[in-house]
Structures are given as C-alpha cells and as structure tokens.
Chain A
Amino acid sequence: MAKDTPEENRHLNRFYYTVDHAVEKPFNWQQMWRLLGYLKPYAKTYLPGAVIAMLLSTAVRLIVPILIGKVAFDIVIANENMTMLIYMVIGVAVLYLLSYIGNVFRIKWVNILGQNVIYDLRQHLFSHIQRLSHRFFDTRSGGSIIVRIMNDTNSLQELFTNGIINLLMDVVTLTGIVVILLVLSPKLALAIMVILPIMFYISTKLRRNIRRSWQDVRIQQSRLNSHLNESIQGIRITQSFSQEKANEEYFDGVNTDNFKSWRTATKKSAMFGPFVELSNALGTVILISYGAYLILLGEANGGIAIGTFVSFGFYVGMFWEPISRLGQMYNQLLMAMSASERIFEFLDEQPNVVDKVDGEDLTGMKGQIEFDRVEFSYDEERTALHEISLDIKAGQTVALVGHTGSGKSTIANLISRFYDPTKGAVKIDGYDLRDVRLNSLRRGISVVLQDTFIFSGNIMENIRFGRPDATNEEVIEASKVVGADDFIQRLANGYETEVEERGNILSAGERQLLSFARALLADPRILILDEATASIDTETEVKIQEALQRLLKGRTAIIIAHRLSTIRESDNIFVLENGEILENGSHDELMKRHGEYFELVKSQFEMLDAM
C-alpha cells in the first residue's frame, strides 16, 4: 500500500499495514468441478432430497397465481360459481400445505448438506496441513494458514448451503414464470419482459460496482483494525514515549478515510433499491397500459381476460427475487473461486517428509544415533551441514556447541526427521530414518524447545499433551519428578488452573519445567533439548538443572547447550562451525586440547568480564 501520499495524508506514513486485496477470481470450470466433488458423498441422500423439496415449494409458488388470478377470477367469480370457489379454496390450501412441507425439508436438508460439505472440506484441509512438513511452515506465516482453514472455507459455506439449491430454484422459477406468461398471453409477456435485461443489468453490473466500493471500505476497515490491535498491544511503548497525540492524528486520518469511503459506498448502495423499484414500476406501467388495452380487445380478438391480468400482476412482482439472487450468486461464485483456489493450493502441497510404502515400525528403540556423511541445505543458496558424520551411543548425553547458524538446530531437526538430508543418511539403531514409519520414530523422540508452547486448557491437560492416555496420577508423578509439582500446587486451582498461550500466569522458568514434565510423560528413548536463554532467575535455574538431570537419566540426549554447566557434564561435546564439526570430546579433553572449545569458553569469560 506504499504509494505516493498527498500532503494531507502525510500522517499515513507513520504505520503500514498489509491488507488483502484479491477477493474475486475469474470463473474456472475445473476448479468448480473439483469443488462440487465434495457433494459426492451426499449425491444419493441429502442432495436429491433437497432438490425435490425445493421443486415442490417452487411449483406451488408458480401455480398459485394462476389459480387465484386465472381460475378464481375468470372461471369462478366471473361465473358466480360458489361450489367451484369451495373446491378452489381447498385446492389452494392443500397446495400451501405441500409448500409448507417442502419448505421444512428444503431448509433442513440444504443446511445439513452445506454444513457437511464444509465440515468435510475443513477437516480435509486441517488433516492435510497436519501432515505437511517443516518446510511448509517455514515459508508461511501462521496467520495466512489460519485464514484459509477458517475464513476461506467459511466463505464457501453460503455457496454450499443455499447457493447451489437456490441457483436451481431461481432458474426453475424464472423459466417457469416466463413459460407461464408466454402461455397465458404471448404479447403481454413479451412486452413485460423488456424489464428483464434492465433487472439483470442492475443485479450484476450495478451491484458489482457497489460491491467494489464496499471492498474499499473493508480494506480501510482492516487497516483501521490492524492499527487498533497494534495500538493496544504497544500501548506501553506509546505511553512511555508520549506518542498518544501523534497516534491520535494517525488514527484520525485513517478514521476519516474510512468514513469517506463508507459514505461513498453508502450513497451507491442507497441508489440500488430505487433502481430496482423503478424497473419494477416500469413493468407495472406496461402491464397497466398494454394489459388494459388487451382486456379491451377481449379474449376473442386476441386479448386477455381480467384473471390473466391479475395473474400477470402477481408474476411481475415475482421477477425481481430470482434475478437478484442470480446476480448475487454470480458474485458469490467469483468470491468462491478465489477462496477455493487458496484452499486447493494448500491441498495440493505435498509433504516433503513422507512414509515409505513398505516402511517398518521402529519398535523397542534403543537410542543409538548415527550420521553418515550427512549434507543438508534449507535452500539452494545455503548449505547448513557439510558431510557430517557422528556417532552417539544409546544413553549418552551429547552437547552441541557453536555460534548461531553453525548447524546445531539442523542436526536436532534431522534426528526427528523434520527434514530429510540432502545427501547421506541419518540412522537410529542402524535403521535409515527414511525406512521407518514416522509415527513410530517420533514416538520414541521428544523435543523440548526453548519457547514452551502452552495450549489453552488446564495444567493437567497441558502436561498430558505428552501422552494423552496418561492418568492424573501419572501426570502428577511426572511433575513431582521434574520439580514442577511445587509451583503447580501453589497456583489457585492447582492442576486445574486454566492457562493459555499469552497468559502471564506462568513464568518462563515454570513453562520450562512444565515442558520437562510433558517430555517425561512421553517417556522417549531420545530427548532433544534446546536450552532456553530466556530470562530465568538464578534460583529457578538451579531447579531446572536438577530437573534436567532426572529427565536425562537412562536416555540418549542431544542438548543444544547454552549453559556451561550443562555442557561440562555431557559425555561428548560437539563443537560446530558453519555446518562442520570442528572437534569433539569430553569437557576435560577439549579444555586440554586448547582448541576451538577452549577459545570459546575463554572468550565467554572475557565477554562477561568486559560487560
């Protein structure tokens, strides 16, 4: 949105927000066909049911005006036939009853159909995304994924609920009216149908124009909301820099822009109704003047009877609804195109890491890890690991040490098979990871990340995330082992305390302990740990170190280590730089060697002293 801004809009340079533009796409049959494929499971149940119910009520709507106009007026009343009148009334009442039944089932089935399709689509999309690999998530923001699962599928909801059935209903109604009118009186019918193109024009072109200006409003509004959101989140910064006034000016600018575009859209919208009415009025004027003339002619001379005139009166009033909906439908389809394109883009995305067809279950994992000349790159420009070979014995604790970008995390990611190596092989217990089932592999491995993710729910559920079938006792036991039980008991509701991602109930250290409990519960053979650098006070840090010792017991552990104490106690330390292993050995061995590790430790102390 960075364009040249005139002087009066200078305030707009203060913040920039990205707003989505593309809301409609040209119609695409192939895509539509794929979309309609989601109706298939219901092709023999709800779909035909809804269509039949719809046809029933539409037929009644079409027949009644003839009955009341043509039959009642011309045959019954004109001939003063009281018995016929009674039959008529009963007939119409029965028809209305049928229409009532039709409506009940149409509304019911149409919604069941639509909701099931949206459910299936959303479920399909979500499950598919779960299976995608890290590479997919590396390149996309969380927000854009959420929008597709939630909003894009929702914008197809209307299409599948009412859209498709209404499309049929409107086509049937419109054709029905035209046919009936032509049969009743071809001349009058043709004269009145002059208004059809006008109505179609209003319903498509004019409406489109109006919708575009509402789009402007929405774009302005989403910018306004983005700013509101940011201004609330950043309020503490704003107040500490005394920028309240400057922000108010910015907001005033955005608010005014929004007001102006809103006013324009409103003005255009307000014209829509009158145009529709006028075209309707034009129909009535034709009916009155030409229709009256035809009555004058008399039926014998090619004219019409009064009843026909009355029926026409009813039908002219019925034109607008289906035409209006068809116009809306057209716009809806264009929007559905853009939504479904975005959904299909994700569905066509293939996971990079997949199970082999004849993959084996890795049962009874021991935890021996081997890298055999492993090369890896995230993208073509940058090689993250250069032909690395290493061997970690089952039960060993290994520390990975090195600068940011030296390849520590990459090694950890390859062990969990979040990525596949570009060259060489990663093996556990001698099995190449590409030959075993992903699920069986990851069940044996737990990763504890720096930023522990807290799901909304209570503490018990959060720990149980490590192993969903664990009992309450097991959860508490695990918490006790890692020393998390103390602080949990101190919370207002203990294990039942509700927590959430951005809530500030738990401190960084407490979150770390929680993730230890989670990992312990999962009881993995291999534990990968990215040590936290976050702000943790010294006393908590001591607790974490103790918990760590208990957690590591009897497991193979790979630690991306920041704390010297962790590094020192490891069985083997790998010092990495630019994707290569410079040296490895125990702390004492490496210190004696006076190599890179020695320099690293020394420079850390120098830094500390210099601070």
Chain B
Amino acid sequence: MNTFKKLKQFYWPHKKYLFTSLFFLFFVVAITVVYPIVLQLTIDEVVLQERYSLIPYIAAGFFFIMLFKGVASFFHQYMGDLFGITTVYKLREALYEKLQVLSFKYYDNARTGDLMSRKTTDVEGFRNFISFGISDFIEITMLILFSLGVMFYYSLPLALITMAAMPFLTVVVYKFDKRVHPAFRGIRKSFGRLNTRVQENISGMNTVKSLAKEDFEVGRFSASNDNYRQNYLSTSGIWAKYFPVMEFIGNICVVLLLAYGGYLVINGDLSLGALTAFFSLVWYIMGPLMNLGFVINMFSQAKASGERLLEILEAKEDVTEIEGAIDTPIAGHVTFKDVTLTYTEDDDKALKHVTFDAPQGKVIGLSGATGSGKTSITQLIPRFYEPEKGEVLVDGRPVENYKLKTLRRHIGFVLQESFLFSTTIRENIRYGNPELPEERIIDAAKRAQAHDFIMGMPKGYDTMLGERGMGLSGGQKQRIAIARAICINPSILVLDDATSAVDMETEFKIQQALKEVMRGRTTFIIAHRISSLKHADEILVLEHGEIVERGTHEELVNQHGPYERIYNIQYQDREQIIETAT
C-alpha cells in the first residue's frame, strides 16, 4: 500500500471522479439484480395469477428502470475513465519533467527501452487499476452480495446450493490465475525476443548477406518463432484446461437448481417465477467470481508498475542548483584545480588530480587513447557530472555558483555522433534558441558551411529530418550540429572528436568551418589526429585519467613521450611518401 500512498498526489486530487463513479455504480448493480425480480414478478404475480392488467406497469416500470441504469452506467464508466486518464496526464507530466532534469550519470546506467516501457506499459498498468480495478472489485463484491441477498429471500436451500459451488469455483479460479499470469508474461517475453531477433537481422542485413548466412538466420528465426508459438500454446492450454471447468461448475449448479428447485416447485415450496429468477442470479455470482482473479492481478500489476514509476520519480537528482546561484555573462576562462572524478564506485577513477588553466579565447587540445579521460574533462565544465574532489572554475568562480542554464547556455558542444531531432533543419539549427530569427539561422549555417547543401535540397531549411536525421550524410549532420552550436553564441566551445566519422574531404570542409567558429572562443578540441591538435595553444596528453604531458605541439614532439610516439606513427608514412614524391 505504500506505493499507492506515495503516488497519492497524482490521483487523490481527482477523487471526486472516483466517488461519483462509485455512487453511480451502486445503482447499476442494484438494478442489475432487479432483472430476475421482474421476471419472477411477471411469472408469479401476473401470469400465474392472471392479473394481466399489471403488465403495462411492469413493462413500463422495467423500461424506465433500465433507462436509469443506462444513464447510471454511462456516468459510472465515464467518471471512472476520467479518474484514470487525469491521473495518467499528471503522472506523465511529472515523469517527463523528472527525466528532463536527471543527470548524465542517471542516463549512463539507464536504457532507452526500459525507460520507455516504464513510461508506457507501467503508466498503463497503473491506470488500469485506478480506472477499472477499484470499481471492478467493488462491483464484484456488491453484485455477489446483492444476488445472494435476493436468493436467500427467495429460497434458503437453493441459495445454499449456490453458495456450496462457490468454494469449488474459487479454488479453480485461484489455480487458473496462478498459472495464467506468468504464462502471459512468458508470451510477452517471447514476443520481445522474437522482435529483437528480427530487429537485429534487419539492421545487420548487410553483414548477414556478406557472410551468406541467410539460411542460418532463418534457422535462428524459426527457433524464436517456434518458441513464441509454444509459449502461446501452453498458455492457451491452461485456458483450455481451466476455463471449461469453471463453466462446468456453473452449469452443474444450474443442474442442481433445476433438480432441487423443480422438486420444490412440484411440492409447492417454491414459486415458478423464483426458480426462473435463480437461473439468472446464479450467473451473477459465477461470472464475477471468474473475473476476481483478473482484478486481483490488476492490483498486483499496478503495485509493481507503481514501484517502477516511483523509481524514476524518486531518482536522485545529483546535479542541482545551489541557493543563490547567479546569472551573469560568461567570458570563457576555464580552470581545473586538482580535479578527480569517479563515475561509479566500482569503476577506476576517470580523472586523477587534473589541473590546468585555459584563459579566455585560447585553444586547448586533448589527446590520449580511448577511455583516457578526454571527454570527462569537457563534461565537467557544464556540470554534466560533479567532480569527486577538486574544483572546476569558470571566470574564476566555481561552476556550482552559476545557474545551470546560464552555465550551459555559454558552452557549445559538437560531438562525434551528432544527434538531430525529428523536425525541420531550421528547428534543428535553432534548437538551443527557438526564438532566433531567420537571418541568424542562415548566417550560422553559412559559417558552418552548411548553407549550400541545405539550399540544394528541394525544401531547403524546411527539409524534415527523420529520427536520427536520416537522409543526411555524416558530414552534413555534423555541419548542422556545428550551426546549432553557433546559434547559441557560446563563449566555450567543445569539439569532441567532431570530425572523425567523415572522410578526408569532408573533414577538410568541416575544419575550415570550425576555424572560423573558434575565433574568440575558448575551445577544447578532442582528436586522435595530430593535424587537428597541433595549432592548439596548449595540448594536454592524458593516460588513464592523468595528464602525463602538456605543452604546445612544438614542445611535445621533442619530449620523447607518448605524444611524440603518436606523432611518429602518424607522420612516418608521410616522410616516406614525400620522399618518393619528390
């Protein structure tokens, strides 16, 4: 119950919907039980006593009661649904806001698929219980109680016969539910595996075809396909085993009613109408009982879903603004003082005692193998992560002293793989500044060497980019990402391996674009190629999170350290080629 208590803020403010729904539910159930009574009255009071003058009253009365029931059940259902969807609305809003502010650290350990399933399936699971579960449970209880009440009123022995069947049915329903729900989960999991299998096959089609592994793939697919079929069939097997039994128990009850009831009627201990009424009433008890399992399952699912939602809602926001954070223009002077960073406790330190100073407008090159800590340095400046020890200063102030928005607005990122959103090129370029006028967008695109190819497209700046910017080459995406960074006019620019995934020519174009953009901004360049680093004002060479060398290109090539080694590997070719060429 704790889960529901913690999520109370999302549904309790709309409790009026729930109560209205339950209010109308009472009438719905009460009137349902009226139907067999009307049948009984018609037979006993009208037909058998031949009081046919009553018929119009009974008919009209019945019709109006049903009309009222119609209205009541409309409001019952509609209000119940409203209760659920309003809760979903609020819940989604809160989840979205939360996910916007959670830090990189959270996303490092999260999977998109998992988060998505929480935001869709789990929200839905919670809603089902809120919308239907609660009132279904109340409906079942009321229906059984009311029907039993009427039964006892009509005939004690017949009511007892019906009640005797209830434990049998309950046991079967219990057994059925215990087996069927895990089986359903089995189907879903198996379907998920089949889906993954297909997804992989289609995404890896080039590899499959190149290695001529089509038959092998068909074999793997049919294994998963068969597994899905088997899972489905074993579930329907449970169904085939228990469901007819449940119906059979109800039917046996009918047979007993017929036998004993018929006997009672013949002996004159029961009216014919009452016996007829029993045949309807018995299903008002058996039917809901069969569904009870589903309602209880809905509850336990909602509880599990609620817990998964709470995991998101209660996730720690480890990067937060301090009280009195300031909003002031940033010039771009970056200083690291003895900074140490650990991502997770089990990991080795990502940065160890890193100290450097990057004066405003200077270019800092970062060199080192994959995983040496280059990217980590740049991610500490906008506070995507918090250092474990040491201080990161911008313009002489600790980064925590700035408002997050202020800090990040002044830092532009161009990453190796540029993520573009599903919208027009124009909206993508002004992503960081949605109010930017057209001239500024075009200006940015021109400076990023993107204007020409954009204008070459039939729809120009209105060209729609699909998910992950499909339809553009790597170099084109990269230049749009550069234009996007220019649009926020950052004081600090981070180029994280911005040109490695493109061919030489494109790289040349992009480098030209970047040169222009870097002017007057403090720039951090992460690159493997010496040619991209050598003009930097200072180059930091990293190894396992430590700065092992620093200096200008000219200084470093003569230091006999790792930088020189890399330089030699990259440039030995060149010397030889130049020799042969001349």
A126 touches B225 (CB 8 A): yes
B416 touches which of A93, A262, A535, A609 (Cβ 8 Å): A535
CB-defined contacts of A238 to chain B, threshold 8 Å? 100
B interface residues, how many (CB within 8 angstroms): 160
The reply on A166 being an interface residue by CB < 8 A is: no
Complex Cα distance A73/B237, Å?
39
In the complex the two chains form, is B89's CB within 8 Å of A255's CB?
A: yes
Q: Mark A222-245, 1 if CB is under 8 A from B, else 0.
A: 001110111111111111111110
Contact B96 A103, beta carbon cutoff 8 Å: no
Report the separation of the CA atoms of residues A92 and B421 in the bound assembly, to the nearest whole angstrom. 67
Asked if B279 lies at the interface with its beta carbon under 8 angstroms from chain A, I say yes
Closest chain A residue to B234, Cβ basis: A111
Name the residue on B nearest A439 (C-beta).
B212
Q: Say yes or no for B320: interface residue by CB 8 A criterion.
A: no
A528–B504 alpha-carbon span in the complex (Å): 21
Give chain A residues whose Cβ lies under 8 Å from the Cβ of B216: 465, 468
- Residues 282-326 (chain A) with a chain B CB within 8 angstroms: 282, 284-285, 288-289, 292-293, 295-296, 306, 309-310, 313-314, 317
Distance of A196 Cα from B128 Cα, bound (Å): 33
Query: Are A150 and B58 within 8 A (Cβ)?
Result: no
CB distance B384 to A240 under 8 Å?
yes
CB of B561 closer than 8 Å to a CB of A: no
In whole angstroms, how far apart are the Cα atoms of A273 and B78 in the complex? Answer: 11
- Is there contact, CB below 8 Å, between A82 and B263? yes
- A232 & B116 in contact (Cβ 8 Å cutoff): yes
CA A540 to CA B470, docked complex, whole Å: 30
Q: Is there contact, CB below 8 Å, between B497 and A104?
A: no
Q: How far is the CB of A404 from chain B (nearest CB, A)?
A: 6
| A442–B210 touching, CB < 8 Å | yes
Q: Is residue B559 contacting chain A, with contact meaning CB distance below 8 A? A: no
* Partner pick for B503 among A255, A533, A610, CB 8 A cutoff: A533
| Closest partner residue, chain B, to A69 (CB atom) | B276
- Docked CA distance A285–B265 (Å): 26
Q: Does B303 contact A (CB under 8 A)?
A: no
Q: Inside 8 A of A565's CB, which chain B residues have their CB? A: 573
Residues of A within 8 A of B505 (CB): 403-404, 607
Interface centre among B213, B506, B535, by most chain A C-beta atoms within 10 angstroms, is B213
Interface 0/1 of B203-232, CB less than 8 Å to A: 111111111111111100110011011001
When C-beta atoms are compared, the residue in chain B nearest to A17 turns out to be B422
Binds A, one of B133-141, B170-178, B244-252, B286-294: B244-252
A30 interface residue per 8 A CB criterion: no
Alpha-carbon distance A145/B73, docked complex (angstroms) = 43
Of B112, B206, B484, which is within 8 A of A232 by CB? B112
Nearest chain B CB to A24 CB, angstrom units? 24
A112-120, A366-374, A383-391, A550-558: which lies at the B interface?
A112-120
Q: Which residues of A are found within 8 Å of B89, using beta-carbon distances?
A: 255-256, 258-259
Q: How far is the CB of A555 from chain B (nearest CB, A)?
A: 15
Q: How far is the CA of A197 from the CA of B34 in the complex (A)?
A: 26
A507 located at the interface, meaning its Cβ lies under 8 Å from any Cβ of chain B in the complex: yes
Q: Are A226 and B497 in contact (CB under 8 A)?
A: no
Q: Which of A134-142, A180-188, A327-335, A576-584 contacts B (4 or more CB under 8 A)?
A: A134-142
Complex interface residues of chain A between 72 and 106 (CB less than 8 A to chain B): 72-73, 76-77, 80, 82, 85-86, 88-89, 92-93, 96-97, 99-100, 103-105
B182 contacts A by Cβ under 8 Å = no
* Interface range for A: 35 or more
Smallest CB-CB separation from A609: which chain B residue? B531
A14 touches B370 (CB 8 A): no
Which of A281, A535, A537, A562 lies at the interface centre, i.e. has the most chain B CB atoms within 10 A of its CB?
A535
Bound-state Cα–Cα, A17 to B427, Å: 14
Q: Give the segment of B148-156, B254-262, B392-400, B447-455 that binds chain A.
A: B254-262
A611 and B532 contact, Cβ closer than 8 Å, known pairs A85-B266, A242-B432, A266-B81: yes
Q: Is the CB of A263 within 8 A of B82?
A: yes
B578 and A150 within 8 A (CB): no
CB within 8 Å of B: which A259-280 residues: 259, 262-263, 266-267, 269-271, 273-275, 277-278, 280
- Is A608 located at the chain interface by the 8 A CB criterion? yes
Q: Is A598 an interface residue (CB 8 A)?
A: yes
A438 at the interface (CB under 8 A from B): yes
Q: List the A side residues contacting B255 at CB < 8 Å.
A: 89, 92-93, 96
- B residues in contact with A466, CB < 8 Å: 211
Query: Out of A281, A285, A538, A587, which one reaches B566, CB within 8 Å?
Result: A538
Binding-face segment, B4-12, B192-200, B329-337, B354-362:
B192-200
Kindly report which residue of chain A lies nearest to residue B205, judged by CB atoms.
A137
**Do A130 and B431 contact each other (CB < 8 Å), given the known contacts A509-B370, A564-B577?**
no
The contact sample of 13 A-B pairs, CB cut-off 8 A, is A107-B236, A107-B244, A108-B236, A130-B218, A134-B209, A226-B467, A284-B38, A293-B52, A446-B211, A453-B204, A565-B573, A568-B573, A611-B535
Apart from A126-B225, A453-B206, what 9 extra A-B contacts exist at CB < 8 Å? A115-B233, A240-B408, A278-B67, A284-B35, A284-B38, A456-B196, A536-B370, A540-B369, A611-B508
Can you list the 10 inter-chain pairs with the closest CB atoms, starting with the nearest? A442-B212, A274-B70, A447-B210, A241-B432, A281-B66, A111-B236, A535-B500, A103-B244, A107-B240, A453-B204
